[in-house]
Amino acid sequence: MPGLQLEGEKRKLLEARFFGTSGRLFALPQTTTTASCQQQQQENSNTSIASASSDERDGDQGQMRTSSSIVGNGLAQDQGSLPFASPPPPEIRQQTPEKAKTPTERKRKRKNASAEDGVQGKQGKADSAKKINEYFRGGSPGRGTRNSPIPMYPASPVMFAQSPMQGSNNSNSQEFQSMFPNAGSQNNDSSMRPVQPDTSHSQLGNMNAQPPPNDVRDQKIQEYSKQIDELRRQLTAQQKLIDKYKETQNRCLEKTKKLLIEKSDMEKKDRRQHAMENRLRLGQFQTQRQGTSFVENWVDGYAFTDVIKRQERIGAEREEIDRQRKLLMKRKPSTGGTSRGSSKSQDGFLKPAEKSQLSLGGFYEQDEILKLRQAALKKEDTDLQSELEKLERERNLHIRELKRIHNEDNSRFKEHPVLNDRYLLLTLIGKGGFSEVHKAFDLKEQRDVACKIHQLNREWKDDKKVNYIKHAVREYNIHKTLDHPRIVKLYDVFEIDIDSFCTVLEYCDGHDLDFYLKQSKSIPEREARSIIVQTVSALKYLNTITPPVIHYDLKPGNILLGLGMVSGEIKITDFGLSKVMEGDTYSPDHGMDLTSQGAGTYWYLPPECFVVGREPPKISSKVDVWSVGVIFYQCLYGKKPFGHNLSQAAILEENTILKATEPQFPSKPPVSNEAKSFIRTCLQYKKELRPEVLQLSEHDYLKPVAMKSKDKADSMSM
């Protein structure tokens, strides 16, 4: 029985420790992490374990102690994990019924609870606290082997009933409040709600399973170092690969340059060999002395000599046929049957009469033979004339090629230099007054380009150099903003040295229209119309941009053709003389002043450009309209409408264009009336009657056949 009494006393002290004397439910603080509370709990727990080890008993008493320790242990664990404590459910209260109090227990209770002996009360209270902690063996966070306590009960709050023994538990309540100062304020609120902690047990386990911060930092540093080393290794490998590719690319570029230069040299050799053969066949320039000076005169080759000899032979045969026809007419039999006597010739001598007279049948037979021979000679003469014209066209191309070869041999860029570390010059295309155009290869973009090199004469004065550079920069500023499929594109501009710079243009495989006309003389109307339609389309674009642009130097040499036997698509180039119709210098009613009078190609300029007066003439887009009419006429008839076979100096001296009031249309080749009407519209002498580019683009002749029929049907319906 003493064991039961001791167990009942411990039970009461346990209730008094956790439930206090107020008779109300109280809540434990959610977190008790202060260093003082943890240290006090650990000391109390250790002391209780040491004092309670001697009081253990076997049998039923040991079982009751075990159950009490389990309850205490669970409560001790719940202090660190549950936010509050509440009375236990009824089933728990039934499992731990209170025993009847013995006198010994009452005496011991009164002795411990006496207020007179304060020192003994405090000591008894301390001893009771130490003995009670025996039942929390392994439940203290500082004493357990686990990092975090594992609650005995579920995560939901566990409610405990307060002990009816209020008076005896005041000391324990005071001690608990001293350890947990926030518990008293929380117990005063009877409407306290249970609070679920934010951190779950699995998260706590994961947090406790993590290594210390220093180890994590060292581990991450090692991982990052490995990653950095790996990235450096990959970067080094990629850099080596890039260097290898660059080396391969440089070798390919060198090989490409070598092959292109070899191909260009072979083409140059073939062209020079062909030109040398044509020198003997078509002719060449020979230096001859005239007085005290030497001049170069053209000497025809054996092809022209043979044609001339054949023409002379045909002329002699024609004269012989004419002589025989005259003799035959003398032997013509008379219709009256009388014979002719002797007659005097033109030289006054008397000719004897014919010995024999031809019959009528024989006369007509001889006459027919002479007529056939005469027709054959005429046909041969026509063929020779065509052959001569063809030779003349070949001679013109041959002369052009000889000049090109001469300019190429004298060019400072004949050794295939690479300009701007990018453009490999291959062959000379042509040369103008102060510039030359080379076919080049863009090593960066891997495409053919045309490099127009502008060279300033070193003997020029500074003001002339500044003026030339001003015009070149203006051409570049105009051309760089243009973007149209019928206009050559400008790719790049760079400086070569102090006296030269280069503009890089789009390269066209075919020749220009001037070369095509010299080779073919004339173009069928359908093909010529296609060229004019594309040209007007490009001019329309130039007049729709802001500010509008006048080309001013439109001619066959500035119209580039596509590759092939037929002209196909065309592109306009050379904006060196272009005029920008800006607001301060241009008036829609009068146009703009012509500040560069005398420049341009005279055969393709309108009459107003040749007017000389106090004030400069006014020009507009009608200048390009006149040029379109001249080009179309030349394409159809193979010659210029005004000043054909005249030099520019002769045109200027004779005022040829100022007298060009009406174009004359040859009978051959046949041309449609619509084409003639279009040419007349373009070649209106008075600029007031001549349409502008935008008006010309709406001309019926330039519209497709489908649109013409549609417009005609609409006009008839109205």
Altogether, the residues listed in the chain come to a count of: 718
Instruction: Give per-residue burial for 325-349: e unless 16+ CB within 10 Å, then b.
Output: beebeeeebeeeeeeeeeeeeeeee
Does residue 54 carry a pLDDT above 50? no
Residue 296 is predicted with a pLDDT of 82
**Structurally, how many domains does the chain consist of?**
3
* 469 against 195, higher pLDDT: 469
**Residue set of the binding site for ATP:** 452
Domain boundary among 189, 209, 233: 189
Answer yes or no: is 74 within a domain: yes
Domain boundary among 133, 161, 189: 189
Same domain for 475 and 610: no
Does residue 129 carry a pLDDT above 60? no
Instruction: Give per-residue burial for 294-319: e unless 16+ CB within 10 Å, then b.
Output: eeeeeebbebbeebeebbeebeebee
Residue 364 is predicted with a pLDDT of 85
Residue 240 is predicted with a pLDDT of 95
Is the distance from CB of 561 to CB of 513 less than 8 angstroms?
yes
Residue 75 exposed, middle or buried by CB count within 10 Å (0-12, 13-18, 19+): buried
**Among 146-160, 471-485, 551-565, 608-622, which stretch is predicted with the lowest mean pLDDT?**
146-160
Instruction: Give per-residue burial for 591-602: e unless 16+ CB within 10 Å, then b.
Output: bbbbeeeeebbb
Mean pLDDT is highest, among 156-165, 168-177, 512-521, for: 512-521
Residue 568 is predicted with a pLDDT of 78
Mean pLDDT is highest, among 38-52, 77-91, 592-606, for: 592-606
* CA–CA gap between residue 440 and residue 442 (Å, rounded): 7
Does residue 282 carry a pLDDT above 50? yes
Answer yes or no: is 363 within a domain: no
Same domain for 138 and 9: yes
Does residue 96 carry a pLDDT above 70? no
Is the distance from CB of 448 to CB of 439 less than 8 angstroms?
yes
Which pLDDT tens digit goes with each residue over 396-408?
A: 889 989 999 999 9
Domain boundary among 506, 529, 547: 506
Answer yes or no: is 399 within a domain: no
Span 583-607, mean pLDDT? 80
Span 39-64, mean pLDDT? 45
Does residue 79 carry a pLDDT above 70? no
Residue 125 is predicted with a pLDDT of 44
**Domain hosting residue 579, numbered range:** 513-717
| Torsion angle of the four alpha carbons 69, 75, 81, 84, in this order, in degrees rounded to the nearest 10 | 180
Is the distance from CB of 155 to CB of 196 less than 8 angstroms?
yes
**Residue set of the binding site:** 452
Distances 478 to 525, 562, 583 between C-alpha atoms, Å = 33, 24, 16
Q: Which of 623, 625, 626, 536 is nearest to 586 (CA)?
A: 623
Residue 360 is predicted with a pLDDT of 81
Answer yes or no: is 269 within a domain: no
**Among 5-14, 15-24, 77-86, 569-578, which stretch is predicted with the lowest mean pLDDT?**
77-86
* 474 against 171, higher pLDDT: 474
Answer yes or no: is 346 within a domain: no
* CA–CA gap between residue 628 and residue 634 (Å, rounded): 10
* 29 against 257, higher pLDDT: 257
Same domain for 71 and 158: yes
What pLDDT band is residue 358 in, cutting at 50, 70 and 90? confident
Does residue 420 carry a pLDDT above 50? yes
Same domain for 533 and 616: yes
* CA–CA gap between residue 470 and residue 589 (Å, rounded): 28
Same domain for 485 and 582: no
Residues 6+ apart with CB under 8 A from 514: 555, 556, 557
What pLDDT band is residue 715 in, cutting at 50, 70 and 90? low
What pLDDT band is residue 708 in, cutting at 50, 70 and 90? low
Same domain for 538 and 604: yes
Does residue 249 carry a pLDDT above 80? yes
Same domain for 523 and 496: no
Residue 660 is predicted with a pLDDT of 86
**Stated pTM of the model:** 0.61
Same domain for 616 and 543: yes
Span 692-713, mean pLDDT? 80
Q: What is the CATH number of the domain that holds 422?
A: 3.30.200.20
**Among 169-173, 376-380, 591-595, which stretch is predicted with the lowest mean pLDDT?**
169-173
Residue 468 is predicted with a pLDDT of 80
Residues 6+ apart with CB under 8 A from 208: 147, 148
Same domain for 474 and 540: no
**Six token digits for residue 707:** 């649109």
Residue 346 is predicted with a pLDDT of 57
Same domain for 535 and 479: no
* 556 against 715, higher pLDDT: 556
* Percentage of the chain modeled with pLDDT above 90: 34
Is the distance from CB of 450 to CB of 437 less than 8 angstroms?
yes
Residue 326 is predicted with a pLDDT of 87
Residue 197 is predicted with a pLDDT of 58
What pLDDT band is residue 596 in, cutting at 50, 70 and 90? confident
Answer yes or no: is 102 within a domain: yes
What pLDDT band is residue 578 in, cutting at 50, 70 and 90? confident
What pLDDT band is residue 474 in, cutting at 50, 70 and 90? confident
Q: What is the CATH number of the domain that holds 549?
A: 1.10.510.10
- The helix (H) or strand (E) run that includes residue 278 is helix 213-281
Answer yes or no: is 279 within a domain: no
Does residue 169 carry a pLDDT above 50? no
Residue 47 is predicted with a pLDDT of 45
Which pLDDT tens digit goes with each residue over 170-209?
A: 545 555 455 555 544 444 444 455 555 566 667 766 666 6
Same domain for 595 and 699: yes
Does residue 345 carry a pLDDT above 80? no
- Positions marked catalytic: 553
- The helix (H) or strand (E) run that includes residue 44 is helix 35-52
Residue 344 is predicted with a pLDDT of 53
Same domain for 26 and 158: yes
Residue 118 is predicted with a pLDDT of 46
* Percentage of the chain modeled with pLDDT above 70: 65
**Among 140-149, 251-260, 499-508, which stretch is predicted with the lowest mean pLDDT?**
140-149
